[in-house]
Structure 1
Amino acid sequence: MDSALSSIGLPVALAIVMFGLGLALTVEDFRRTAREPKAVALALGTQLLILPLMCFGLIILLDPPPALAVGMMLLAASPGGTTANLFSHLFHGDVALNISLTAVNSVIAVITLPIVVNLSTDYFRPDADGDVGLQFAKMVQVFAIVLIPVVLGMIVRSRSSAFAARADRPVRILSIVILVAVVVGAIVAERANVADYLTDIGILTSVFCALSLTVGYLLPRAAGVSERQSLSTAFEVGIHNGTLAITVALSVLDEKQLAVPAAVYSLVMVPLATVAGLLITRKTRLSPQGERTQRS
């Protein structure tokens, strides 16, 4: 991808996405996590622990090229994004829970994402250049492009909730457009290798997405979390912030191959998440218990 686009365009695009997230956040969203301890703990535990381990197991099983393996781990360590909030809204999940989880996990990811990337780089690419991982200076970049726009969005909302409400829909649409543009850009940059990448990573990303959605729903349900919140957790766990993963790969790590899994994942997650939402909501409508949950 063109250096100007990867060094300037992508961080700016991600900043817009994260600013839009901030416009939908209040301090109360962070406080809410204390009032929903079971749902929040299960979702965060799944995202921070189970998904990286599950992704690692799939990589060992399917054995993609080392650079794509690290890219998959980068994707697994990325938090949920605004697209998860959108899907939760479309299928009548607990959007407030999604917003809280996205906010909290985005903060935590500033620490956990570099750890996962560095460990996976050491494991899958032990002979790679020592600057490939996320050292302190690069961690500061991740912090800047993730948290600063969110905080700015929250400040704008606190000072003008009316403006934040008016801007919410346009920014959501813009976020989707940006995601599509980033994915298309990443694929075009590697167009000569797209067929090979799909062969190497297409099945892996699809299986990982399907398993993430499934675990994200079934684990909370097994623990007694409501149908509506479990649906939200499924989307939060199964829909990653592909824009963040691609931006880190291209702008921070400056490696095109590391962006490929996130780009392919962003293509497969939309139809898979749609199918998951339809199956879960259909099950809810057919179940008397589910009907009671939806009415509450």
Structure 2
Amino acid sequence: MDSTIATIALPVALGIIMLGLGLSLTVADFTRLLRLPGTVALILGCQIVLLPLFCFGMVLLFEPAPELAVGMMLLAASPGGTTASLYSYLFRGNVALNISLTALNSLTAMITLPIITNLAIGYFMGDGTTLGLQFDKVLQVFAVILVPVAVGMTVRARAEAFARRMEQPVKIASVLVLLGVIIAAILQELDNIGDYIVAVGAMVLIFNVVSLALGYWVPRIIGTGRPEAIASCMEIGLHNTTLSLAIALSPALLGNTQIAVPSAVYGVLMFFTAAVAGVLVSRRAARDEVRAAQPD
């Protein structure tokens, strides 16, 4: 992988995305979580516990190359991405919950992501005594997350009208930069892309579909409202692939192109699967509204 992409383009993309998140955040977004403790705990439990466990079992079943296995676990350990808020908005989810969860997930992942990834590296690639992803290095990556968020929140607090005007342009810029990074990475690995898709395509698709399904149905089963379930669906189903790519490709962290492959494939695939999930949920909501309107 070109070192320019790994050391410059990915941190820039991540910084722009997190700046956009900060522009849309207020302190009230965090205090709002206190009114939904059960929903928040359930979503975090799915994100932190259920998905890594499911991914680990799937990796054992498919038996990919060790680097790809670590890449899958890194992806599973990554927090929800800011794209979740966009899809939640499009399909009538609780966007405020998405914004708050993305921020909380990003903070929680500072602890959980290194633990899960280190365990995966030790299990699949070594004897567990020499691990390539250290906490101090991960803190450097999360500084790229927290500083832009803090800047964005400060701008929002002091110049709300300006922040609101900039939200959409920054979101568009972040998507374009992320797509550019993914396309550049794919082009550089064009000779191997077919093999990569064969190696991880099925795993990535299954993982993505299960993530979206768990995100929606687990909250619904316990009676959570549909807007909150849609927010959960997108939050759990759309991982922060910019972060996982940055960790996998950065020479200061893992510096391994193969580990980045699952995140690169997922980063393209999730836009389509999330759209399908949103359409299905919207149709179900429309049918339920029609039934509710019919007289008994």
TM-score computed with the length of structure 1 as normaliser: 0.94
Q: Which residue of 2 aligns with 1:10?
A: 10
Q: Which residue of 1 aligns with 2:158?
A: 159
> Structure 1 stretches (4+) deviating beyond 4 angstroms?
289-292
Q: Which residue of 1 aligns with 2:95?
A: 95
2: CA distance between counterparts of 1:125 and 1:58?
Answer: 17
Post-superposition CA distance 1:210-240 (Å, at most 9, x none)? 0000010010000110011101100100001
1: CA distance between counterparts of 2:37 and 2:290?
Answer: 23
2: CA distance between counterparts of 1:258 and 1:291?
Answer: 49
Conservation of the 8 A alpha-carbon contact between 2:22 and 2:149: yes
1: CA distance between counterparts of 2:8 and 2:224?
Answer: 42
Q: Which residue of 2 aligns with 1:254?
A: 255
2: CA distance between counterparts of 1:41 and 1:17?
Answer: 25
Conservation of the 8 A alpha-carbon contact between 2:122 and 2:130: no
2: CA distance between counterparts of 1:228 and 1:92?
Answer: 6
2: CA distance between counterparts of 1:100 and 1:136?
Answer: 24
Post-superposition CA distance 1:213-272 (Å, at most 9, x none)? 001001000011001110110010000111111111112321111111011001111111
Amino acid at match of 2:140: Q
Tell whether 2:79 aligns with 1:79: yes
Conservation of the 8 A alpha-carbon contact between 1:52 and 1:76: yes
Q: Which residue of 2 aligns with 1:220?
A: 219
What does residue range 169-248 of structure 1 map to in structure 2 within 5 Å?
Answer: 169-248=168-247
Q: 1:127 Cα deviation (Å)?
A: 5.5
SS at match of 2:255: coil
Check 1:31–1:129 CA distance in 2 against 1; reply closer, same or farther (3 A cut).
same
Post-superposition CA distance 1:172-203 (Å, at most 9, x none)? 11111122112112222322211111001000
Paired-residue identity, %? 51
Aligned length: 291
Check 1:60–1:290 CA distance in 2 against 1; reply closer, same or farther (3 A cut).
farther
Q: 1:96 Cα deviation (Å)?
A: 0.4
Check 1:92–1:267 CA distance in 2 against 1; reply closer, same or farther (3 A cut).
same
Conservation of the 8 A alpha-carbon contact between 2:40 and 2:101: yes
Tell whether 2:269 aligns with 1:268: yes
1: CA distance between counterparts of 2:104 and 2:139?
Answer: 18
Amino acid at match of 2:270: M
Conservation of the 8 A alpha-carbon contact between 1:190 and 1:256: no
TM-score computed with the length of structure 2 as normaliser: 0.94
Conservation of the 8 A alpha-carbon contact between 2:81 and 2:235: yes
2: CA distance between counterparts of 1:185 and 1:76?
Answer: 23
Conservation of the 8 A alpha-carbon contact between 1:81 and 1:240: yes
- Which segments of 5 or more consecutive residues in structure 1 lack a partner in the other structure? none
Conservation of the 8 A alpha-carbon contact between 1:87 and 1:235: yes
